[in-house]
Structure 1
Amino acid sequence: MIRAALIAWALMTAPVAAQELVRDFGPESATETLRLRSTTDIAVLGPVIERFLETRPGLRVAYEQWGSNALYGLQASDCAAGRAGADLVISSAVHQMVDLVNEGCARPHRSAITAALPDPLVWRDELWGVTREPAVMVYNRDLVPPAQVPRSRFDLLDLLRPTESPFRGRVATYDIERSGLGYLFAFADSMEATTFGGLMESFGRSGAIATCCSAEIIDGVAEGRYLVAYNVLGSYALVRARRDPRLGVVAPLDYTLVLSRAAMIPSTAGQPRAATQLVDFLLSPEGRVALEQALLIVRLEDGESTALDLGGAAETLQRPIALGPALLIALDAHKQALFRARWRDAFPETGGAAP
């Protein structure tokens, strides 16, 4: 049974939340409907779902797009109540997904395709990493001179150091109180980087902005309200940069976090067979091609094909976020409280959890 603290936290962060968008894929005459809940933008993952359905005329996918904290709360609530809801869940907040699996909220699936996954991308045959997306820095090409483009966290610190820096108040990142993904990236940084303390101090001193979500941050950079955005999910940034020449996207040279969105079949799924088919498709060669075309698989070794700036280096140091119990540290109540307090010191105006 889900522990009481998890339920309380999940419901507190999103008590009246609803899905952000809804869209149905497949024929109305389909005899089966798979309910997919995901944090992935429908516009990004939709073409992959359409590819999956091409050879499945009897299946329809009801796609619900959610914010990560709201989705976590809903799945925790469904699990605790034994209530049917989603047939498949895909979230970028993979620490929350590990917690749901750890609490018995998932059902296992094993196939030749899932069995072939490397250990960091599968846990207990109940959670699978289905994408490959870097955390990047985004900048405005029109407003940031080439010599000032930050190519590492050290460069970003240097830009923020001068008292009269033009970057004061014009650097943005995720608000960890509102974004489960933002919390995950920031926590991973705190465990990984010697620069983390300096970044927090510099963000606070320079009036950096913490805000809710990828689209808002990327819009702000494109429009010039922000000059640089830090730790943005690279898939979304690269999709926008494809059609907006104002945007530049950099994989930090000191190290680049790499996220694999996690897929889980809830224990209460009403269509588990269809869910396993979609999981296997996403991990199949055909599914990988579709995901790469959607920029949900980004190869850091080949920045030229995606417009990802690798700073002239042959490769950047990659830090994949592995699926497994180590991620539960990020949800430890004591560590969370300390980490959030430290965050509020740097971003006192963030205002807490989203409604």
Structure 2
Amino acid sequence: MRAMALRLALALIALLPGAAPAQEAVASFGAGATRMVLRSTTDIAIIAPVIERFVERNPDLSVSYEQWGSNDLFDDSRAACDGRRAPADAVFSSAAHQMVWLVNAACAQSHVSAATGALPPTRRWRDELWGITEEPAAIVYNTAAFAGQDVPHDRFALLDLMRADPDLLRGRIATYDIAASGLGYLFAHADSLEATTFGAMLEAFARVGAVATCCSAEIIEGVAEGRFLIAYNVLGSYVANRQSQAVGIILPEDYTLVLSRSYMIPRGAAHPEAARRLLDFLLSDEAQRILERIGLLLPRDGAETGLLPSAPRAIALAPPLLVALDGHARRRLFGLWEDAFRPAQLP
């Protein structure tokens, strides 16, 4: 990587029981005098090209990038909003429901520009939350295991496969642990609202001993190695970045959830102008092309993705996402999930 643009230092941090939320890794970009803090759920190795380009375009700025798990980042952001922790200058998270909660709790500040104004309504809320990416929730499979066989192209076919050969798939279907992953919880919540198949899917997962575990990279690695044969609702951008022939990806034809990682400027940010400049850059044509190249943005040409025109279901940045954090809704979904899944563990 270019030395002037990136000094990457991965610092794995042990999370002790009861410890305050902490980042998983950190990286430093650029050498500008004004150093902004960006806290994000996006893996450093994936997002690096676009942040590198930003600091090249803005040599007076540098970026201290902190990689977090979504739930820990939410806890940290709430503490910062309450004045119990120092806030970041920008927060960038895949857990859109948590970001909507923060904005609704008056934890953010506004920004209006030509770039933010050009966003569709599903990717902008109250001029305080903006969707930067478009990433599908995919079905992922081990290509060797399905060589010469049909793979399930929608949820109905996946259900048929689990019913027809439960022994083949026993303990070898994976998805996110919704207790550990804010993104996994969001996808499960969206499925529960969208899919007539939701109840049947949970029953089938229970029947084949499906595994709920964390996280995207771990699940995809398990599929590549053959420990899992299928993974459900995995963020497709992580599969695209892995570029492994051992892993195939399907965007479900019945419907495909599409997530926008959302960006917020905390109310107490020390460098809000730097955060605004980064936001406008991320929404620029140049940055969006980079995001498309690294798999964080769906290609404009649907033929490149194989996604049917009727299939995309955008998870809109809007007040209905607050229902996902309602206590009753959470207890109900967790109850259904616990009935369906054994404790998270790798086979």
- 2:23 is matched with 19
Structure 1 residues 303 and 17, CA gap change in structure 2 (3 angstroms)? farther
Q: Is the 8 A contact 1:14 1:70 kept in 2?
A: no
After TM superposition, give the deviation of residue 95 of structure 1 in Å: 0.1
Map 1:277-288 to 2 at 5 A. 277-288=277-288
- 2:87 is matched with 85
Q: Is the 8 A contact 1:42 1:65 kept in 2?
A: yes
- 1:268 is matched with 268
- 1:61 is matched with 63
Aligned length: 329
* Matched residue type, 1:248: G
- 1:252 is matched with 252
Cα distance in 1 for residues equivalent to 2:170 and 2:84: 49
Map 1:190-229 to 2 at 5 A. 190-229=192-231
- 1:317 is matched with 311
SS of structure 2 residue aligned to 1:239: helix
- 1:124 is matched with 126
Cα deviation, 1:85-123, whole Å, max 9, x if unaligned, reads 210000000000000000010011111111121111111
After TM superposition, give the deviation of residue 15 of structure 1 in Å: 4.5
Q: Is the 8 A contact 2:209 2:342 kept in 1?
A: no
* Matched residue type, 2:69: G
What's the RMSD between the two structures over aligned residues?
Answer: 1.7
Q: Is the 8 A contact 2:211 2:342 kept in 1?
A: no
Cα distance in 2 for residues equivalent to 1:44 and 1:321: 22
After TM superposition, give the deviation of residue 300 of structure 1 in Å: 7.4
SS of structure 1 residue aligned to 2:277: helix
Cα distance in 2 for residues equivalent to 1:253 and 1:314: 6
After TM superposition, give the deviation of residue 127 of structure 1 in Å: 0.1
Map 1:160-199 to 2 at 5 A. 160-162=162-164, 164-199=166-201
After TM superposition, give the deviation of residue 316 of structure 1 in Å: 5.2
Gaps of 5+ in 2: 1-16
Write out the 4+ residue segments of structure 1 that deviate beyond 2 Å after TM superposition.
13-17, 82-85, 145-148, 162-165, 299-304, 313-316
Query: In the alignment, does 2:333 pair up with 1:329?
Result: no
- 2:10 is matched with none
User: What is the TM-score with the length of structure 1 in the denominator?
Assistant: 0.89
Q: Is the 8 A contact 2:41 2:67 kept in 1?
A: yes
Q: 2:139 aligns with which of 132, 137, 140?
A: 137
Structure 1 residues 84 and 47, CA gap change in structure 2 (3 angstroms)? same
After TM superposition, give the deviation of residue 40 of structure 1 in Å: 0.4
After TM superposition, give the deviation of residue 302 of structure 1 in Å: 3.6
- 1:156 is matched with 158
SS of structure 2 residue aligned to 1:258: strand
Query: In the alignment, does 2:338 pair up with 1:344?
Result: yes
SS of structure 2 residue aligned to 1:341: helix
Q: Is the 8 A contact 1:172 1:217 kept in 2?
A: yes
After TM superposition, give the deviation of residue 203 of structure 1 in Å: 0.4
Q: Is the 8 A contact 1:14 1:69 kept in 2?
A: no
Cα distance in 2 for residues equivalent to 1:343 and 1:141: 28
* Matched residue type, 1:298: L
Q: Is the 8 A contact 1:263 1:279 kept in 2?
A: yes
After TM superposition, give the deviation of residue 162 of structure 1 in Å: 3.1
Cα distance in 1 for residues equivalent to 2:27 and 2:292: 22
After TM superposition, give the deviation of residue 335 of structure 1 in Å: 0.9
Cα deviation, 1:141-183, whole Å, max 9, x if unaligned, reads 1112343311101111011113653112110000000000000
Q: Is the 8 A contact 2:95 2:186 kept in 1?
A: yes
- 1:40 is matched with 42
Q: Is the 8 A contact 1:120 1:324 kept in 2?
A: yes
Structure 1 residues 160 and 97, CA gap change in structure 2 (3 angstroms)? same
* Matched residue type, 2:171: G
Cα distance in 2 for residues equivalent to 1:158 and 1:226: 18
SS of structure 2 residue aligned to 1:113: helix
Structure 1 residues 155 and 276, CA gap change in structure 2 (3 angstroms)? same
* Matched residue type, 2:332: L
